[in-house]
Structures are given as structure tokens and as C-alpha cells.
Amino acid sequence: MTVWTGNEGHHEIFEAIAARYIEENPELVSSVSFESLPAATYVDALTTQIAGGEAPDIAWLMESYAAQFVDSGVFADLTPTFSETEGYEFDDLIPGAIELWSRDGNLYGYPFSNSPFGVYVNLDLIAEAGQENPRDLIASGDWTYDELMAAAAAVSSTTDAAGFLPHDDPYTNWNGALGQMWLAWGAAPWSADGSECQFTDPEVVEFFDWFHTQVYEVGAIPLPGEEFDFASGQAGFMMSQLSMSTGLGDDFEWDFVPLPAGPAGQVSVVGQGGVGVVAQSDHPEVAADFLAYFTNPESTRLLAQFFPPPRTSLLTTETLADAAPALSAEQLQSTVIDQSVEAVTKAGHPQMSQINDPIRVRLDSLWTPEGDAASVLAQVCTDIDPIISGN
């Protein structure tokens, strides 16, 4: 049996779980191999291998492609196997965490990593810029995106560093960078079933207009083509997840705080990594049985060394301390655990592969000082309507 993942560093724990499964089920499987692929080209590689008839039995997938893979039938239904597996504790799964991977009450993928987004803060830089500590703003109820951008602009204007870095490059990966943020505007760029373009909705236009202003007028966010690295102390703030904490040393003082509030209030957002059984694989039934073992409460406790689990019973500071030893108990509780339970999963579209490029190309005309969000987003809908309307 072959399992594909995007991270080689996790193999030791994967293989330990697999070894136990093989020992307990020698009649089902003789070996499990885990193969790592670069995350940036993971979906391309997965598609290529499926096209070449070399589909893995189980594949890892990020949340932005979950809807597409579930809707198109790439992943097999896991519900019969999971519900029949003794001790699986299906009800322990956080409902909001599995929603993206479910259709009509059936589960097609398991979000083994359920990691909330937060904001990393370079405390040295904000002190140098004379800005208030975000923890104080949270305490006073003033932790908003506008306050964040004001502080970021101060950092940018008074130091050599950038102000605020989104989670990804907003100019080439619009959904990966902005999808966490626009939810705080109440914005939904497409309808729930993905068939209707809503980029022209007032909330969406307001969000993109606001972001454009932060880039070109406020100066809080780097311009297109500028390169900065938070871990090297080159930015005041960066939106990311708890896994980034492992790459931060003690070169500067930092904190990890919850997402700020937007016009629609504070919306906690999680990014997910899920696993599913590839329906076209050679051993889908055995793969589903292995996946049930791989994601049962006992295995999930082991996986929690790396990934925030989607199980309520395991969302504790003790469990997560292994995943992010650099984070304090307060940071884990306030920024990870408290946000996880009620969080919304970052949106993906059932035809993300088809709409990603046309939207990126059209948004390029927004990323100029004169860019006008309303007219550009209207063009976005004109471009993608023919693609999504038949959905």
C-alpha cells in the first residue's frame, strides 16, 4: 500500500503507526510505504500519477482542493469503514472540521491537521516602531485588522522591515493568502455550491478595496515583487499557523496571537490537511481500514505531535505542546485551542483548478496603484461564470 504526503519529516511517526497496523493485520497488508512530494507541486504530481495509472492508495490533500476532490469522486466514502471500526469515536470529531470533507452525511476525507491561523508578531520591531502590544489590544477589545495594519504601516515606515506579510503571496496565490482574511468581512466570493460568482458582492469588493488601500496607500503590506522573511526578522507581522513556530529562533522576541476582527467581527479560520482513500487505487477497502486505524484516537494522539487534531478530546495544551514547543500554554490555549472548536475552514471551490488561473490573471490588473476593485472583480465574474455556471 502506498500513501503520499507532502512532508518527509513526519514519516517516523507514520511508519510507527503503520508497523503496528501490519503487526495486527498481517493477513490484510504486508507493507505500507509513505512517499513525500513537494507541497508546491503536490496536486500536479498527484494528477499526473493518477493519469499514468499509478494512483496511491491514500493521498494527503490541502483544504483548498478538498471540495474538488470530494465532489469529483476522487476520494472514496470512508463512512462505512469508520463507523464500523470499534473504538473510532466518530462523534469526537469536530463537526466544523469535517464539514468540508463530507457530502450528504458521508465522510470522504479525514482532516488530520486542523490548524488555526493566527498572527505572528515581532515584538522587537513593534516596540521600535512605538506600537502597542497586540495582547493589550486583545484585552481592550481593539484587536482589529485596521489596528493591525496601522501598526504594520508604522513598522514599515520607521524600520527597514516590512509591515504585514499575508500567509502566502497575495499576488500569485490569491486564495492561499487572502482566503483567511475576507471571512472577517463576511465575504464569500462564490455561493455555497460554487455555481454562482459573488466576487461582485459588496463585502467582497469592500475587502479587496481595503486590501488594495493597505498595499498602495497605507504601506502596511509589501508591494508585488518585494521579498521579506518573517523568520529573519524582516517583518513586523505575519499571518500563519502554529507549525511556523518551530522555525522561529530567539533572534527576536515574538508572539502568536489570534486573528483580529474585521467589519463582520472576529472569525477564527483553520487551514487543513486531509487524507483520503483514492477511489481508483488498487486496494481501496484495505486502504480505508488502514486509514481508520491511522486516524483512531490512539493514533491521532501520536499524530498530534505534529498536527492539531480534529478531535475535541485531544485539543489540550499538553497534547499540542509537542507540536509547537516554542509556544507557551497561553498561546496554545488562546490562539490554537480556543479558535479550533468554532473555526471556519478556509474556503475552497469545487472547480478550484479551473478558476484559479483566470482569477489570478484578472486580479493582476488590480495590483497597480490605480487598480479599481469593483471593476476588476466584475471582470473576474465575467471570466469565471462560464466555467462555474454548469456546476
Binding site for another protein (CB under 8 A): 43-44, 47-48, 50-51, 68-69, 72-74, 171-172, 222-228, 280, 353-354, 356-357, 360-361, 364-365, 367
In the complex, minimum distance from the CB of residue 78 to another protein, in angstroms, rounded to a whole number: 18
Q: For residues 223 and 329, which CB has a smaller minimum distance to another protein in the complex?
A: 223
Residues 6 or more apart whose Cβ sits within 8 Å of residue 44: none
Q: For residues 141 and 225, which CB has a smaller minimum distance to another protein in the complex?
A: 225
Q: For residues 195 and 354, which CB has a smaller minimum distance to another protein in the complex?
A: 354
Q: For residues 49 and 296, which CB has a smaller minimum distance to another protein in the complex?
A: 49
In the complex, minimum distance from the CB of residue 28 to another protein, in angstroms, rounded to a whole number: 26
Q: For residues 303 and 373, which CB has a smaller minimum distance to another protein in the complex?
A: 373
In the complex, minimum distance from the CB of residue 128 to another protein, in angstroms, rounded to a whole number: 19
Is-contact 209 135, C-beta < 8 A? no
Q: For residues 68 and 340, which CB has a smaller minimum distance to another protein in the complex?
A: 68
In the complex, minimum distance from the CB of residue 60 to another protein, in angstroms, rounded to a whole number: 15
Residues 6 or more apart whose Cβ sits within 8 Å of residue 21: 29, 32, 290, 293, 294
Residue 14 grid cell: 507514520
In the complex, minimum distance from the CB of residue 349 to another protein, in angstroms, rounded to a whole number: 13
In the complex, minimum distance from the CB of residue 364 to another protein, in angstroms, rounded to a whole number: 4
In the complex, minimum distance from the CB of residue 181 to another protein, in angstroms, rounded to a whole number: 21
CA distance 268 to 340: 7
Single-letter amino acid code for the residue at 317: T
CA distance 227 to 214: 17
Q: For residues 72 and 246, which CB has a smaller minimum distance to another protein in the complex?
A: 72
Q: For residues 151 and 376, which CB has a smaller minimum distance to another protein in the complex?
A: 376
CA distance 295 to 314: 12
CA distance 54 to 288: 18
In the complex, minimum distance from the CB of residue 55 to another protein, in angstroms, rounded to a whole number: 9
